A = this chain, B = another copy of it.
Amino acid sequence: MIPNLPEPNETAHELTRLLDELAAYSDGTNPEEGVTRLLYSPSWLEAQRYLSSTMQAAGLAPRFDAAGNLYGRLAGRDPDAPVVLTGSHVDTVRNAGKYDGAYGIVAGLVAVSYLKKKYGDPIRPIEVVSFAEEEGSRFPIAYWGSGNAAGLYDWRQDGTELKDEDGISLREAMLASGFGGREQEDARRSDLAAFVELHIEQGMVLERMEKRIGIVETIVGQRRYAISLEGAANHAGTTPMTMRQDALAGAAEVIFRLEALAAQWGEPLVATVGKIEASPNTPNVIAGGVAFTVDVRHSDEWKLNAFCDLALSEIERIALRRRLRHRITPWLATKPVPMSHALTRSTERICQELVLPYRKMVSGAGHDAQLFPTLCPAAMIFVPSKAGISHSPSEYTEPGLLADGARVLTAMLYELAYEEKST
């Protein structure tokens, strides 16, 4: 059942206010440089404290776990009932916008605050979470917050010796910001009924399709490879075309071919070469070596693997024909993570009842939600990103669209926590 929902203009205003306040907690004060809030940094800690007091003011009981995840709890009438969890991550990339991660936290706050005022205590407890970390921007590890909550990582032993750019270890940073104490609440959750994450799309599909809500069916699996091709760095003037072993021409053929293959396979497959380095990288010398990356994503594991097999055999074929030595180093492999069918269907029904144009889609980016399906049903809701821009100070979503997302989330939380029979 769709409950009474908060008034859109008022919600938009409230979300905008909270996002602006949260964005103020940033390294650097020049707004043109956007928000930089790295795990366990002073601005990160201030942001978590700000959210903690905002939770308290909204009638939620805040608490931190030992990894620095912040939870704000609205107690349920059934104290033993599993917890309905919503939220996202508080950390940012360097020079980020103010929506990625932050939106899911503040929308959760606004939604739960509304529900408490309007409907009182729920049957099942609801918690809003501000995860410590998702981006992997300070230390070379991502999903540190949700990973600790979901049991992928254990803050006592995992990643503790990873270093940031200044040589500070993850453990040192964690302790310095007041976390990682043995007496603190453990991070791992085993009491969850559901996890719902609201997030900006970080892509341009919803905007182009003129949809207001995206319902994530699957978070894609990813494969990343480092490829190197090695030929011979000869003189650009004295080496006839027929005598060359041009590593850059070889890389160009590979990149052009992978793009065409990916286009043939069609959505939701994407394949990207985003990074390339040539050597010696001099205008009048044929490139003797080229290193580049390949990033492949698909929501279907079998198809992801099949495409990668094909792509790698194409690379080998092209290298062999051109007499280039090649080396392929896989360095990231994650499986596609399907969201809960039941929650996805509920979200779809809510959008239909609210007459919000929506699209079922895959998430091409990774999100905290992908950690949870092993623990509980998980769902993800997207709102459009203007021009698809994210990880940039130009990241933007209209307040009206922010409010729509929050209204869908409110309805979902109501169904999950207030109705006698949850989905």
Contact = CB atoms under 8 A, between A and B. Distances in A.
Interface of A: 201-205, 208, 220, 222, 224, 234-243, 246, 248-249, 251-256, 259, 262-263, 266-278, 280-287, 293, 295, 297, 363-366, 388-391
Contacts of A255: 248-249, 252
A235 B365 CA distance: 8
A249 B257 CA distance: 9
A52 B16 CA distance: 79
Given A241-B270, A252-B252, 5 more contacts: A203-B238, A236-B364, A238-B365, A252-B255, A274-B286
A169 B273 CA distance: 42
Nearest to A263: B241
A183 B245 CA distance: 52
B276 A283 contact: no
Contact of A248 (B239, B249, B274, B390): B274
B248 A276 contact: yes
Given A201-B238, A241-B259, A283 B278 contact: no
A44 B276 CA distance: 37
A276 B278 contact: yes
Given A284-B274, A295-B284, A249 B238 contact: no
B239 A204 contact: yes
Given A262-B241, A263-B241, A283-B224, A388 B270 contact: no
A378 B391 CA distance: 61
State the copy count for this chain: 2
A236 B258 CA distance: 14
A391 to B, nearest CB: 7
Contact of A238 (B238, B239, B282, B364): B364
B262 A256 contact: no
Contacts of A204: 234, 238-239, 243
B241 A267 contact: yes
A202 to B, nearest CB: 5
Contacts of A222: 237
Contacts of A284: 224, 272, 274, 295
B275 A282 contact: yes
Contacts of A239: 203-204, 270, 364, 388
Nearest to A226: B283
Contacts of A276: 248, 276, 278, 281, 287
B274 A243 contact: no
Give the one of A252, A263, A270, A285 with max B CB within 10 A.
A252
A28 B204 CA distance: 56
B272 A236 contact: yes
A209 B21 CA distance: 74
A242 B390 CA distance: 19
Contacts of A391: 235, 285
A249 to B, nearest CB: 5
18 contacts: A202-B238, A203-B235, A236-B270, A236-B295, A238-B363, A238-B365, A238-B388, A239-B364, A241-B259, A249-B255, A252-B256, A252-B273, A273-B287, A275-B278, A275-B282, A275-B283, A276-B281, A276-B287
Nearest to A269: B241
